Amino acid sequence: MIPYLTRRTLQGILVIWLISVATFVMMRLMPGDPVYLLLGEGEIRITQEQIDAIRRRWGLDRPYHEQYLIWAWNLLRGDFGDSLIRVGVPVRDMIFEAVPVTAKLNLIALAIALVVAIPSGILAAVRRNSFFDYLTAVGATLGVALPNFWLALMLIVLFVLYVPRWIGELPLVGRIPPFGLPGWQGYILPVLVLSTEQMAVLARVMRASTIEALGTDYVRTAYAKGLPRLTVILRHAVRNALLPVVTVIGYRIAFILSGTIVVETVFALPGIGRLFTDSVMRLDYQVVQSLVVLLAVLVVAANLLTDLAYAFVDPRIRIE
């Protein structure tokens, strides 16, 4: 176990370092200048000497390799620096302000997806070629095929035109500090959009994996021993069928940002996705680089935990 964890940790550190270098280079290759974006176009009269002083203040006058080494060393010490655009605001405060919104959205969406998708996939596999199986297949196909942005916009239109007559007004967009959303009602539509695709993917994987497990020799042997059908399905088939689901859950964490970017933009939510897109458009180097590295750490850790979860779900797997 220890050699495996050491090897995977070293591999993860290498991946995170390569991602940090690639992000640093790509941000410097983007057209535009953060200093001019900070000053605005024609709104502030400023001399070249003052512009050079601003560059020295942020270290933008240094060679690129020095800029990277300074930023990386500060990051290792836990200092994310200050935002280039929101002058005087620490990047750490901006990230900590946005993390709760994104974390709540994704955790609630994942929990709902698991509660709905796993029983649906199991039932569809047990009742193969039944009406429920076909209904699950159609719903899963639609959930995967529908783009998040289209579904979000259609839900906004639906709730604006029709639903308020039944349940009252829902907060569709906007924020109220310090928690980002005006009550639990503000999470309904974003969570529904995020969980739709996850439910579809997990249900399809669970169905296929359960069907495969039900056709194995150990399941037929369990039936031959006279075990109740429910016991065979839950204790023998489902436990082994959960391995692909665990893989998908770990894989979905890698796309946590791409999904929330769309949802947070449509619903104007102040989460990590919205902060990332705004920072890229405004060339806020410190924020973008810090966010990418933190998300890389999250993905590496999620992949490691997924591998460790294999041994817990299936005792036959040995981690060495």
pLDDT at 138: 92
Query: Given this model, what pLDDT does residue 177 score?
Result: 40
Angle (CA) 95-39-94 rounded to 5° is: 5
Residue whose pair of structure tokens reads 């919205």 in the numeric block: 274
Statement: residue 22 has pLDDT above 90: yes
If you write DSSP's letter for every residue of 217-260 in order, what string do you get? HHHHHHHHTT--HHHIIIIIIIHHHHHHHHHHHHHHHTTHHHHH
Angle at 261 between CA 39 and CA 157, to 5 degrees: 110
Domains in the chain: ranges and CATH: 2-76 (no CATH), 91-313 (1.10.3720.10)
Residue with tokens 């259609």: 154
Angle at 143 between CA 313 and CA 180, to 5 degrees: 85
pLDDT in the model for residue 178 = 38
* Mean pLDDT on 42-57: 71
Nearest residue to 267 (alpha-carbon basis) of 161, 109, 165, 151: 151
Count CA atoms closer than 13 A to 145's CA, side-chain side. 6
pLDDT of residue 19: 92
The model's pLDDT over 5-14, given as tens digits with 9 standing for 90+, comes to 888 889 889 9
Instruction: Compute the distance between CA of residue 230 and CA of residue 272 in angstroms, rounded to an integer.
Output: 43
pLDDT tens string 63-72: 888 889 988 9
Tell me what percent of the residues of the chain surpass a pLDDT of 90: 10
Q: Reduce the DSSP state of residue 82 to 3 states and report it.
A: strand
What is the pLDDT averaged over residues 199-205? 90
Task: Give the residue with greater pLDDT, 35 vs 266.
Answer: 266
Burial classification of residue 277, based on how many CB atoms lie within 10 Å of its CB (0-12 exposed, 13-18 middle, 19 or more buried)? middle
Q: Are 105 and 191 in contact (CB under 8 A)?
A: yes
Dump pLDDT digits (tens) for 254-312.
666 666 788 888 887 888 888 888 888 888 888 889 989 988 888 888 888 877 777 67
pLDDT, mean of residues 141-153:
87
In a 13 Å sphere around the CA of 264, the CA atoms on its Cβ side amount to 28
- Does residue 181 surpass a pLDDT of 60? no
Q: How confident is the model over 303-312, as pLDDT tens digits?
A: 888 777 776 7
Average pLDDT value over all residues in the chain: 80
Instruction: Examine the pLDDT at 241 and tell me if it is beyond 80.
Output: yes
The answer to which of 48-52, 115-119, 224-228 has the lowest mean pLDDT is: 48-52
263 neighbors 273 (Cβ within 8 angstroms): yes
Better-predicted residue by pLDDT, 282 or 38:
282
116-131: average pLDDT: 90
Judged against a pLDDT cut of 90, whether residue 18 lies above it is answered with yes
Q: pLDDT exceeding 70 applies to what percent of the chain?
A: 83
Q: Residue 82: which of 303, 240, 287 has the closest Cα?
A: 287
Residue 6 vs residues 2, 12, 24, 295, 304: alpha-carbon distances, Å? 6, 10, 27, 21, 11
